Structure 1
Amino acid sequence: MPSSRASSSSDVLDGAVDLRSLPQRRHVTAHPFVEKLRIAVHFDFYAVSGLDLDGYHFGSGQSIDTDIPPAFLDAYYGDNLLDIDPFVQASKSASGVVIEKNVYAQTPPPRRLQYLTETFGVLNRTLFPVRRGDNVFGAVAFARKTAFADHELDFLVDVADVMHRVITRPIMDKFSAPTLRLIDGEIACLRSASFGKTTDEIAEVTGYTADTVNSYIKTAIRKLSANNRVHAIAEAIRRGLIY
């Protein structure tokens, strides 16, 4: 997946044919929902990370929409700070709000990270995990020069899930199974095929005829722009259509 950035998420999505061609870091400016939220609780920067798809969960660096200065992100990822950032590491296993100063009290930040956050004003990072059941797949983080008050944290807890859905919805809508129009039979056949089953074995498991199985797999290959069955299985797994 390319790591280049663009000025708006809509422009990036228009040019992306699949998740691999979608830039990992997308610089978003003047998003209507974000600007309304800023009126309720002021913040300097925000970041929405993670998708409800395997391989794109929070902490992987595979999907981030943010208005943090691109120069900060270039240095942050260029220096591989994601892997040693105490704030990120603490956030991966967090069950609730993660506040930067609390993390740093236990594990001081690397000097390079401290320099970057102070230089670009990405201060007092505060993160809110986003879950599907017990699985934390995403996060919403805010930063500003002054720490957030308790009542502001309470409000942001309430809106974090909504913000994540609003920001990531265009991506999920474009690359989801309904958008690709994979029907249940196609997904069921690909799922069985992913376990190494032959056409006849898939037919026995699903209850379809062998001809129907082959037909479903052929149409799935076409819809996923894959070259063959194996490629289609890989694409379906990558997109989170089968597990």
Structure 2
Amino acid sequence: MPFSRTLASTLSFDHAVDLSSLPVRRHLPSHPFVERLRAAVPFDFFAVSGLDLDGYRFGSGHSIDTNVPPAYLDAYYGDGLLASDPFVKASSTATGVVIEQEIYKQDPPSERLLYLAHTFGVLNRTLFPIRRLSRIFGAVTFSRSTPFDREEIDFLGDISGTMHTIITKPIMERFAAQEMRLTDGELDCLRIASLGKTSEEIASACRYTTDTVNSYIKAATKKLSAKNRSHAIAEAIRRGLIE
């Protein structure tokens, strides 16, 4: 069966030549980290949304890994509910945890959204925004039939950043450098620089001139929106571009 542009049931990305050819909604029925987390705090469904890349940040609907029933997602997106969902609207500017029932008290959902939620059991959504500095680029959402208590919310909040990193790591490792247009030379220089090497030492290892090394690192720093070489290295590690 061919892959759908909107839904995949595997984390194998061998079929995708670039990020734009990867299904935007990927069904993830099981994952070792998710199952360990579920043992600590029971939940029915989860969604890991957004990437720290232009065009794929949270709210665009262009990158979602989830175990939510595909039929729910098909109806949700098919009916254009992303644009009108009060929960999503509140989440896009959130400074902390977003709890569905609290949002609905101020901004009631549509009858269609309520119908889908109760039909598929996607209830009591609780979202944790994922940030880089002041910018929200991702989110981790949990839901279950009963509301999460405060202790559970605190725990999920503490672990949500780690979960986002783990679930999106295969995508970022495969496509982030390509999407950000980092060249092999720029990545090589950042990788060796992360070992504490000077420009001269990087040049010797890569057989570049020192001026070329400095140009590569300067270009990579700009592409990563970093302040300096050290910041660029940290950003490259955080985004999974280098180890």
Report if TM-score (shorter chain) is over 0.5: yes
Q: Deviations over 1:72-110 (max 9, x none)?
A: 000000000000000000000000000000000000001
The structure with the greater share of residues assigned to helix is 1
* Structure 2 counterpart of 1:168, one-letter code: T
Q: Which runs of 4+ in 1 moved over 4 A?
A: 178-181
Partner of 1:184: 186
* Cα deviation, residue 178, structure 1: 8.0
TM-score with structure 1 length normalisation? 0.73
- Please state if 1:172 is matched with 2:172: yes
Equivalent residue number for residue 229 of structure 2: none
Alignment partner, residue 88 of structure 2: 88
TM-score normalised to structure 2 length = 0.73
Q: Partners of 1:169 and 1:51 in 2: how far apart?
A: 10
RMSD between aligned alpha carbons? Answer: 2.4
Equivalent-residue separation in structure 2 for 1:165 and 1:125 (angstroms): 20
Q: Which residue type is aligned with residue 9 of structure 1?
A: L
- Show the counterpart of 1:36: 36
1:82 maps to a residue whose letter is: L
Q: Which amino acid aligns with 1:183?
A: G
CA distance in 2 between counterparts of 1:178 and 1:60 reads 20
SS where residue 173 of structure 2 aligns?
A: helix
**Offset of 1:3 from its aligned partner?**
3.7
Deviation at 1:184, TM superposition (A): 2.9
CA-CA distance at 1:4 after TM superposition: 2.6
- How far residue 43 of structure 1 moved from its aligned partner, in angstroms, is 0.3
The CA deviation string for residues 158-185 of structure 1, in whole angstroms up to 9 with x for no partner, is 0000000000000000012289753239
Q: Which residue of 2 aligns with 1:148?
A: 148
Which residue of 1 is the match for residue 117 of structure 2?
117
CA–CA distance in structure 1, aligned partners of residues 176 and 54 of structure 2: 12
Q: What one-letter code is carried by the residue in structure 2 that aligns with 1:176?
A: A
State the percentage of identical aligned residues. Answer: 60
Amino acid at match of 1:81: L
Are the aligned partners of 2:53 and 2:176 in contact in 1 as well (CA < 8 Å)?
A: no
The count of residues paired between Structure 1 and Structure 2 equals: 189
In structure 2, stretches of 5+ residues that fail to align are 188-210, 217-240
Name which of 3, 6, 22 aligns with 1:4.
6
Q: Residue 197 of structure 1 aligns with which residue?
A: none
Distance (Å, rounded) in 1 between the aligned partners of 2:75 and 2:141: 19
Give the whole-Å Cα distance in 2 for the aligned partners of 1:25 and 1:4. 5
Return 5+ residue gaps in structure 1 as ranges. 186-206, 214-240
Secondary structure in 1 aligned to 2:14? helix
